[in-house]
A and B are shown apart, each in its own frame.
Chain A
Amino acid sequence: MLDETLVLTWREVRKWLGRRGVLVSSLVTPLVWIALFGKSFNLQALLQPPPGSLPPGSEQLVRAMQEALRRRILELFGTTDYFTFMASGMLVVFSVFQGMFSGVSVIFDKRLGYMERLLSTPTPRPAIFLSRVLATLFRVTVLDTLLLAAALAMGMHLREGVTPIDLLAAWAYVLLLAAALSAGYATLSFYAEHQEVLFAASNLINLPLMFSSNALFPLKQMPDWLQAIAKANPVTHAASLVRHHLIGAPIDNYTLSLAYLTALTAALLLAGLYLSIRWMENR
């Protein structure tokens, strides 16, 4: 089964890499986002009092206020540099957006008849489902690595003393979340007739997932109801884990986040396997 899974994954990857300009077109959007959004919000500037606006003799007090503010910002964002905060969140969000392409591949194979050819071969059915997820993991690995390199070039700061283990761990969490979403979209696509269903679902799911998480703004400054939603949002847990490893932001409960993400991904993969095989074998 592993063999067939890898062969079918290779097919997806091969097609993906064969499309001219695919890297550029995939990376344009997240790059523009971090450049415009990440660079436009300058936390450091908030700490600088306007020149000449301070009464004489208040330096001490001002310095104390600045320090207090800095600590507050650090507590909220885990860094005093918003670009670093935002770029690390985008690495996670981007893996959410890539999940949909597992579904696109299923829908097109169904509509173009390749799925029928595949189903008439002895290929183990789990391989047909899992190869879509694996292909997305491959794409996310490549694209996120390029995105991180670009962000570093644009001034993102990794935490002091970051190790290769940190990088591997961060990538593992990005992929864990990507696996959950791509399993979900792939499963949906076995049952959906048209790609429009998939696009509608991703419009409904992706943006709310991004905005109701700590990917762009920290949790603690959100209203309570939104915090409650964000805490159930897997993107929050993935982003917290990734930030912990990459930029050294404090994390509330490492084990809980890890367990939550793992459980969700495992559940979606198992449900996806069950439902996709049911679709394949009972038509």
Chain B
Amino acid sequence: MECAVEARGLVKVYPGGVRAVDGVSFCIRRGEIFSLLGPNGAGKTTTVKMLATLLRPTSGDAYIMGRSVVRERGEVRRLIGLAPQDLTSDDEMSGWDNVYIQARLYGYPPGEARERARWALEYMGLLDVAGRKAATYSGGMRRRLEIAMSIVHRPSVLFLDEPTLGLDVQSRRHLWGLIRSLRREGVTILLTTHYMEEAEALSDRVAIIDHGRIIAEGAPAELVARLGGDRVHIVMGSPGEAERLAGELAARGWRARAAGREVVVTVENAAEALPRLAPLVRGAREIRVSRPNLEEVFLELTGRSLREGEEALDSFRYRVLARRIRR
């Protein structure tokens, strides 16, 4: 099997001793969307920066279409496109100038660069507003401009670091559509996100990353299936009652645990289990069935929620982001 991106034991220790990435390996197949899903500070950005030749790995190596990010940096840079986590376009310049400059930096002479810029802006639905300063763009348009700047040279591999950070649901879905369409063009995409729905909606495969290590990897459905089917949530009157019920069910061989006033029972298939389960439960206020998602996979693996530490962004960058997204 051929990997478009192959990471082999990537480690990054920042000066000062933070071990941000701690032995990460994976293989992204050609033409797939691969997501790194993890909470803030998990090491997603650091991983992407090593793959994009911005940081030298402390140890390990990675290969982009077979080229080493340590030893063949120039070749790698020609193969990749990067949309960094921050909004990097110049808001003092027009969308057109931003994309055109990018095309020139990839070595296109002026005429071709104009064609490339026109194509990228059109692809991202920004041609109509290309003459306007980026400062006047909405948050969704700014994010699309970021991607337009990164695809102007038709990269084989595209890195999207939190491409929908700070966007409302509608703009996010619009962007998802564009990302899928890029994959149909044959671009291999590595996406990082801490939005579980995003990883689930877009990726062919997901690697869940926490504290610089990959703790699970596979197709979203596969990961969820590993959790073992459905969840029955039984809401009781009090935490005490929930504890007691969980104990009784566990004694009868059910996979049950109490969480506050709720008892969560893991079953293969809720439709089959409910008729057997219901007679054992007395005093329930509410019974719900849920299909687990990646959020729960993460919770199960780490005992923490994906959204913890949401405020960990550098405060300056956060303010800039907030200011730029506001419109």
Contact = CB atoms under 8 A, between A and B. Distances in A.
Interface of A: 3-4, 7-8, 10-11, 14-15, 18-19, 111-114, 116-123, 281-283
Interface of B: 49, 52-56, 73-74, 77-78, 80-82, 84-90, 92-93, 97, 101-102, 104-107, 149-150, 316-317, 320
A113 B105 contact: no
B322 to A, nearest CB: 14
Most buried by B among A4, A111, A113, A121: A121
B82 A120 contact: yes
A113 B92 contact: no
Contact of B77 (A4, A11, A120): A120
Closest 5 CB pairs of A and B: A113-B86, A120-B82, A113-B88, A122-B77, A7-B104
Contacts of A3: 104, 107
Q: Which of A4, A14, A19, A116 has the most CB of B within 10 A?
A: A116
A113 B87 contact: yes
A-side interface mostly: helix
B92 A121 contact: no
A121 B88 contact: no
Given A18-B92, A111-B317, A123-B105, A117 B149 contact: yes
23 contacts: A3-B104, A10-B101, A11-B93, A11-B97, A14-B93, A15-B92, A18-B92, A19-B92, A111-B316, A111-B320, A112-B87, A113-B84, A116-B86, A117-B150, A120-B80, A120-B81, A120-B82, A121-B77, A122-B74, A122-B77, A122-B105, A281-B56, A282-B56
A281 B71 CA distance: 12
Looking at B80, B88, B102, B106, the one whose CB has the most chain A CB atoms below 10 A away is B88
B163 to A, nearest CB: 13
Given A122-B74, A283-B55, A116 B88 contact: yes
Nearest to A128: B105
A5 to B, nearest CB: 11
Given A8-B101, A113-B317, 9 more contacts: A19-B92, A113-B87, A114-B89, A117-B102, A119-B54, A120-B84, A121-B105, A122-B77, A283-B55
B84 A117 contact: yes
B54 A283 contact: yes
